[in-house]
Amino acid sequence: MRVVLQRVSHASVAVAREVVGQIDLGLLAFVGIGPEDSEKEVIQMCDKIAGLRIFEDDQGKMNLSLQDVQGEILIVSQFTLWGDCRKGRRPSFTDAASPEIAEPLYEQFVTEMAVRGVRVATGAFGADMQVTIVNEGPVTMLLESW
């Protein structure tokens, strides 16, 4: 599993020019599912994201988590995180999980974040989406399952 995580003061996602999810203070998570991913990776990643200390405290140090600041998360499916650009000029996406594998794990990811007490908004799995963000910092983290 690969996740690109961005700290935001606002983010929204639209499908066919209609906003389907939006948040204010929190995180935007682009989530890419690999073919070997399972429930175990989803749980580990959600634990990591909910507790990751990338929000500033009163002294301006990144010392607070999403849960600490009572932030929100916008979760967007992103199979292109598995794009392989090593050969040629056109990415190969053969390393991404098939939709039959990825969609249930994506839905579980959404559920697991909500279970951790985080307000969740989402995009639409498999749709062509337009994402608008105000990245704070900027702070962008790349997380991979272990």
Decide if 93 is catalytic: no
Q: Which of 79, 109, 122, 125 is catalytic?
A: 79
Say which residues have a Cβ less than 8 Å from residue 62's Cβ, sequence separation at least 6. Answer: 53, 54, 55, 56, 139
Q: What is the DSSP string of 64-116?
A: E-TTTTT-EEEEEE-GGGG-B-SSSSS-B-TTSPPHHHHHHHHHHHHHHHHHT
Q: Which of 6, 30, 55, 78 is catalytic?
A: 78
CA neighbor of 55 nearest in space, from 63, 45, 44, 47:
63
Instruction: Enter the tokens of residue 84.
Output: 């392989």
Decide if 78 is catalytic: yes
Decide if 70 is catalytic: no
The catalytic residue positions are 78-80
